[in-house]
Structure 1
């Protein structure tokens, strides 16, 4: 009797992931006449891969699924005959007749192979491992392969490595193996598989990492996400049930015992097994090499790693054993980890099993390395587990705890640890320089200045203490040290202290330099972001802030100060105010009087900048002064003066404003504190002008400009000038030409105040200069409706990315509002959502369509951002930035091929901005001595607008620089003629320029 189901290839699952790269490989090997041996662990997708590869192929397929009953040679021959006869019916009876005539089994296999002749056929033998313990059955397979004609292709599928004994090597010379690595899911395939099973929200990359790409393991990840039931048995997890039934059940008792007892090891070797007391490990590993399990072997096949999900299950089985046995095994493993230099893992394991005394000793040796690489999560976990007992008396752990508190700016905690160290160390002790400096920092933040001074006297001299003393003296009102007195770096954690002083003194470029240690680099990040914000490099600041958030590091200054400043400069006013309010409790709990006073001053700034509310600002400033830090720390006082001065000006209390700002300007200039000097200078210039002191007003404005140039960007200066633009106007009136720095600042004031851009390497980017193309990640995506890209471009240009449906119908469909057009708009929205990485980036709220525009960048937005940023740079730094800006503009016409009226309007706007950019670049190129480029850019400007007098001036300067006196006059006459066409004549500035150049 023949069971026909064994002779039929299984159907492909109703929902499966097509894997063309794997199917093509198997099909190509089969077509070329090779034997394919697909050998991999249970659930690796062997059968599905073969079925997909051979379905619809040019060669007919004979299929045989083997089981243990086929170990009988005669039965196996009958099934081989039946499988082949389904393709070529005349083969029926070949094996049966031979067996009836008492022909030996091996010869019968040969006769069956010979009967195929030269007819093509693929014979698939699935589950060949069922014959592993039947050498006579395997001999029949070997004979079939030996005598097979070239037209017979064999595909063998097995969970285990098998030896087919044949005297001829020719039959196996062309065997191609498909193994675990070939069958493993790629990340893309895993993502598709999870999506088919409702696990599309799962991390495909994480699933592949957790399972080694093992197909069944990945598929069970979707089950685990919402169907895992925690119970007494591991089999409550569906994957664990599969492992028990299909992996461990195929092993004997000794092999299963070996797997469970070695589960603690992330890598299993003979030496490690011996350290755990596992007997005969060499023999067991040799047996496992011949099996296919969810594991990976080293290149020399002397070490294996279980797939994480299998190891997880094995550890669960281990934990069901008697507690004493498991404890002893874990102690041995902790000893092994320490011997291998993996002390951090050993500490974790000792804590887990409750060996806290040994854990404290090992943690003391190791925690310094943990802190140096900034693994603060691990350090905090150890401290929380060990310092209550028995590590509470450990000075080393207390020092580490203090370092973590300082690094995360948890100064209340740091102060408590410092007090504990004082009690622990007793009287008449000399404190280590690094330790004392950290303790002093905590006491300084807590406004315990007497305790800080006492520690200075009790500390041993050293680089860290010298840095600490210098920083505190520079920041203390009445301090004797200056910024230029900076001592050499200490090489320790207190090298973070000078960062604050680089910031308060406006040495912003120093904050952009890489730091020498990972610790200082991480603590330095808030100051680097603040420097980028102050320089107007908001895209870089945003990207770096996101990196810090992803790393899980949230120091106080970053979250409660830098973030608010960044949001404010990005024009996200409501978010900035919300973060300010949210930070109140955190700042209050920080234990830092310095942060409390500074946060109140920041609240005053927001009240003035966002609400123009002097009363609220005054109340916050008065509260700040009640803190000792508000009266004693230079940085707080600098900030306080700026916003107090603006408050006076808004209240028209000009005498008070002038007196306050004069004193501040004198102090800041004397101590070379540049950060607030541009703002103080502008506000003082306004106050002096109101009081009729014109010369003093000019001096104050010039002071602001010089300080701003030294900062390396006019970003902060422009923010103050937007409060009082008449300061710029007055300085421009006083300048004889059109090309002074004040003229440049005047032009920069016309640019958008809050340009925003998403860095190109994140999220979604629309190439809207030239033919529109949408990029998601690194891939070009094409919505099924071309109008979707025009919709995206329109929303990107709207405030907040918002537009009503009537607005969209007017812009995109020439105002048509019939049912068909409204339906087309809905489809355009839906098709756009389909190609975005998150459909929620486009939302419909009633009659409004809203785009999360901060997550999407475009060429035109980048161009506008870079143009504004370039305009904020001092003259000597503008040219390179403008060249990069113009490179973007050269990509093409905005939405080339789109004829909507709104697109035409946008093109004209961008054309004007491009002309502005070329004008700025021409001027900057002439200043830099690049006369050819300057002349080319000036000509391009005049080609679009012959009335741009500044472009004629650039050409005149170029002619003079190149010694072309005749060309100088010709250019001037060209300017006269062009302007005359509009009824104009050259300005006095152009005439003065001609006179100067002809001298």
Structure 2
């Protein structure tokens, strides 16, 4: 019976809120009304019926993911992986909510009182609701009031509450149901409009006395009209069936043995109230089941444990170990519960449901747990998973001493990884345990990380790509070793997938791919960004962007938060904070911080971080003029890094040692360390660290260029000196900036794009304005902007022209320009503006960071952005200057690209690039020299001579000679040499 009044009420509430809490007594019609509302509005429906076990936040989240998932189950897998990767329930709830597409749907959670009873589960549900898209309507059905973590929605206005007053049948609705009669009015008065009473009264007919219903509630009705009228055998079976929410023939035989088939046939024929039958199964309404359970305990309390054991045995036989465990624990049968719980534990591991596991262990007690190796393993996992670190460390020590740990790890090989990770603050102890006991691939992953962090010899990374709960361990080891390409392979390839392991962002940061790093960072769920490790990654990224002040503040937050949580990588964040201080010329503060950290690192055996601290302390000494001290400590750091092949900061440390050795007069060590720095940077695929040191000590570059003038590698380390790069960083779009303008200022196809779509702006002045704004994304002085756009006009006329062009810009783009401060002008809030020329410049700037083939690729990507001259028809002075600057950068980039192609043995591609360069500037002497080099390797004497003639003719117009081309020409063949002499 679809009630339009109630549907309209629900629809009106959802117009103002995203979540509707329906709080009413059992039998009020909450469940059916949710279905009727979805049907009336043709809304896709997702449904999750909760039970007591959903008081566990991990179980709740997996259930939510499953009911919202597609056919591929990807969302459920992602939630399980995130939980197993040691993310908190709130973090995973944010990931799940953020993963939903903005599609219209109704999500109904029935029996929410089970969630409200758990603060952790209620909090996770609240976070999920916060991050779910606005198009998802959520209905929470319960018999109890909304719990506090969710009640915030009432305060914030995102939730509304429906009570019995809305759900109760009105007098008119009762009449529609049973017909216009005095009986309808009597039924309404007797029940107060209570849905279950109205429906049952209308269908079954209440007996009356003096015209008034004699039975006024559901429980009394079931007792007098159903249960008391049954024969003893059938009544006993019906009461026994209360242990199961869904009755089937198999359950009937499990409960009643050989009589089960006959009793099932009888039950199927009864058409019981408050049940739904499909022929193969009968589902009890929770009210009906509660009534039967209460009657079983009241009438046959001694039989209740026997029935529970029979049903639990059935559940275990079909693999439903968790339900069986909960039943047995509730009945107090601890011995049977312990046996089944040991079998159920592995399914809880799969979703990292540590709270449930810890509750089981606590209820079972130490005698049962210690007697079962699987339960003992579960106890260790549960303590670690619920972050009871002191307890788990104490338990591991005791079991290791008494021999119980071997039984546990033999029964559960995956346990050893948890044991070693729990002991990570004492790496020597963790490594001893890894050698002593047997584990699975997870233990290998943790072992690699510990070896990479503490070993004195190279640690070989374990093979694989799907590491799930130990991926962060693998990636941290790869970071320490500078294995950036292997780190890249662990980046989620699907652009819509959340990045729940921020460690992978280190690779694009070090490769100078700031845009890629920022894009990955935006995919990290906000709940995860507040973790200490995430803040460390963010500070790394901010520093690479030149935002030192923000990097320092973020690194300090990482230190503070890690100290509160006793996180084992606190020293990492302290050492990196000191490095940022060094870059801010605060050497004294850096030295003080490093001195305090180094002693502790030595005592704990954290060799990798000790090397970082030594390298940065050596850099501080070097900048302070304490050359001898710098040389000694840098020598120790480089030796240790080199021996263990921890290469992340080895190029920087070796470059610093090269400078220290030079200042100390040790020419040989200085040269060897410079070679090591360059070689290691090439191996890891990033010159980032080496370039940072060279910027501090440019004489390193000068010495290496002078050492071997024929070796062009050092000379070309900073190949594009004309690129401004990081000094003109365009701010990245934020989540609250869904609109972006992109200016394409090159060639005949110049235009402005709005969210990727061309606007077909024909007027050059509008494009000039947009291009200038893109060069100043943080705003520009209004007076200066007017002068730059209309330099020939008077102040008055220029003002009129300026206002007109601002108006036309807004009409063309839909974007307003607003004042900031007294006279600053910028695009309106929520808009991100960028330009292709700035993107070209930034990409060129980052090209110096990477070697070889990757540099070729980046140069090609950058040059592909240019398809003509910059604002070709513009005669504005700033546009002409910018045009000249772009052309110089393009020429430098093409020269570098040709050189690299020649070095890599691709003369055909090098010839094509040379011709493109000469089409840009036919007076480019270096391009002729490179083209002549190409022709000498793949061309003929005639082609070499033709190149030389072109060079001579072009340069003669400028009064110049073709430089080294004459020398190259004479080297190519005696015949050409004779021609040159002639």
**TM range, smaller chain:** 0.5 to 0.7
8 Å Cα contact 2:500/2:525 also seen in 1: no
- SS of corresponding position for 1:681: helix
Displacement after TM superposition at 1:955 (Å): 0.6
Per-residue displacement from partner, 1:405-435 (whole Å, max 9, x unpaired)? 8799x6xx44532323444687133532643
Q: Is structure 2 residue 903 aligned with structure 1 residue 944?
A: no
Q: Which runs of 5+ in 1 are unaligned?
A: 1-12, 18-39, 48-185, 192-198, 212-221, 290-300
* 1:964 and 2:940 correspond: yes
> What is the aligned counterpart of 2:425 among 430, 445, 448?
445
Please state if 1:863 is matched with 2:835: no
Q: SS of 1:768's equivalent? A: strand
Query: Could you say if the C-alpha distance between residues 796 and 669 of structure 1 is closer, same or farther in structure 2, counting changes exceeding 3 Å?
Result: same
Superposition deviation, residue 701 in structure 1:
1.6
1:746 counterpart residue number: 718
1:824-903 matches, within 5 Å, as: 844=820, 847-848=823-824, 849=826, 858-890=835-867, 902-903=878-879
2:228 aligned partner = none
Q: Which residue of 2 aligns with 1:580?
A: 555
SS at match of 1:967: helix
Deviations 1:10-34 (A, max 9, x none): xxx99x99xxxxxxxxxxxxxxxxx
| Structure 1 residues 588 and 462: CA distance shift in structure 2, 3 A | same
Aligned partner of 2:539 in structure 1 is 564
Q: 1:534-580 CA deviation, whole Å, 9 max, x = no partner?
A: 23333333333333326848764x31422211121122323211211
**Separation in 2 of the partners of 1:865 and 1:281?**
77
**1: CA distance between counterparts of 2:970 and 2:170?**
91
Structure 1 208/474 Cα, relative in aligned 2: closer, same or farther at 3 Å?
Answer: closer
Deviation at 1:673, TM superposition (A): 3.0
For residues 972 and 396 of structure 1, the distance between their equivalents in structure 2, rounded to whole angstroms, comes to: 82
Shift of 1:678: 1.1
Match of 1:600 in 2: 574
Asked if residue 688 in structure 1 is aligned to residue 667 in structure 2, the reply is no
- Give a deviation string over 1:210-237, Cα, whole Å, max 9, x none: 99xxxxxxxxxx9998385547x34569
Q: Is the CA contact (8 Å cut-off) linking 1:430 and 1:458 kept in structure 2?
A: no
1:613 deviates by 1.2
Instruction: Tell me the SS of whatever aligns to 2:648.
Output: coil
Q: Residue 239 and residue 902 in structure 1: after superposition, are their counterparts in 2 closer, same or farther (change >3 A)?
A: farther
Deviation at 1:619, TM superposition (A): 0.5
Deviations 1:335-380 (A, max 9, x none): 99989867779999999999999998777545544544xx55xx24
Contact 1:795-1:851 at 8 Å conserved across structures:
no
Secondary structure in 1 matching 2:546? coil
> Quick check: 2:481–2:647 contact (8 Å CA) kept in 1?
yes
Instruction: Please state if 1:726 is matched with 2:656.
Output: no
Name the counterpart of 1:79. none
> Shift of the alpha carbon at 1:587?
1.8
Cα offset for 1:680? 1.7
What residue is the counterpart of 2:478 in the other structure?
Answer: 502
CA 1:485–1:790 in structure 2 vs 1: closer, same or farther (change >3 Å)?
Answer: closer
Structure 2 gaps of 5+ residues are 1-10, 16-34, 43-100, 107-128, 142-152, 178-193, 205-217, 223-241, 256-263, 298-303, 975-982
TM-score w.r.t. the length of structure 1 is 0.61
Matched pairs, number: 763
- Residue 642 of structure 1 and its aligned partner are, at CA, apart by 1.9
Say whether the 8 Å CA contact 1:748–1:872 is kept in structure 2.
Answer: no
Structure with higher RCO (Cα < 8 A, 6+ apart): 2
Alignment of 1:665-814 (within 5 A): 665-737=638-710, 740-748=712-720, 751-752=723-724, 754=726, 763-769=738-744, 770-776=749-755, 793-798=771-776, 801-811=778-788
Matches within 5 A, 1:193-212: 203-207=133-137
Q: What do residues 508-535 of structure 1 show as CA deviations (whole Å, max 9, x unaligned)?
A: 22223349999xx999934422233223
Are 2:348 and 2:354, in contact at CA under 8 Å, matched by a contact in 1?
no
Map 1:482-521; keep pairs closer than 5 Å.
482-484=458-460, 497-514=473-490
SS of the residue 1:919 aligns to: helix
Q: Specify whether residues 960 and 832 from structure 1 end up closer, same or farther in structure 2 by C-alpha distance, changes over 3 A only.
A: same
> Aligned partners of 2:842 and 2:788: how far apart in 1?
24
Displacement of 1:627 in angstroms is 0.9
- The partner residue of 2:516 within 520, 523, 540 is 540
1:75-94 alignment runs, 5 A limit: none
Work out the CA distance in 2 between the residues paired with 1:282 and 1:526. Answer: 59
1:863 and 1:239 map into 2 onto residues whose CA distance is 69
Partner of 1:135: none
Q: Which residue of 1 aligns with 2:892?
A: 916
Shift of 1:640: 1.4
How far apart in 1 are the matches of 2:938 and 2:175?
Answer: 88
In structure 2, do the counterparts of structure 1 residues 43 and 507 end up closer, same or farther at CA, with 3 Å as the change threshold? closer
* 1:200-279 → structure 2 map (5 Å cutoff): 203-207=133-137, 226=157, 230=161, 233-235=163-165, 252-253=199-200
Q: 1:903 to 1:515 in 2, by over 3 A?
A: closer
Q: Matches of 1:456 and 1:599 in 2, distance apart?
A: 27
Is 1:549–2:525 an aligned residue pair?
Answer: yes
Which deviates more from structure 2 when the two are superposed, residues 674-683 or residues 501-510? 501-510
Contact 2:452 2:480 in 1 (8 A): no
Aligned pair in 2 of structure 1 residues 922, 455: CA closer, same or farther (>3 Å)? Answer: closer
Change (3 A) 1:584 1:788: farther
Q: CA deviation at 1:46?
A: 8.8
Secondary structure, in 3 states, of the residue corresponding to 1:741? Answer: coil
Change (3 A) 1:486 1:784: closer
Would the alpha carbon gap of residues 912 and 673 (structure 1) be closer, same or farther in structure 2, given more than 3 Å must change?
Answer: same
Distance in 1 (alpha carbons) for counterparts of 2:758 and 2:273: 48
Task: Give CA deviations for 1:912-948 in whole Å, capped at 9, x if unaligned.
Answer: 3333333332223333444343223222223333443
Distance 2:760 2:311 in 1: 55
Separation of aligned partners in 2, 1:782 and 1:286: 66
Distance 1:833 1:935, change over 3 A: closer
Cα 1:940–1:618 change in 2 (3 A) is same
Cα distance, 1:851 vs. partner?
Answer: 7.0
Deviation at 1:745, TM superposition (A): 0.6
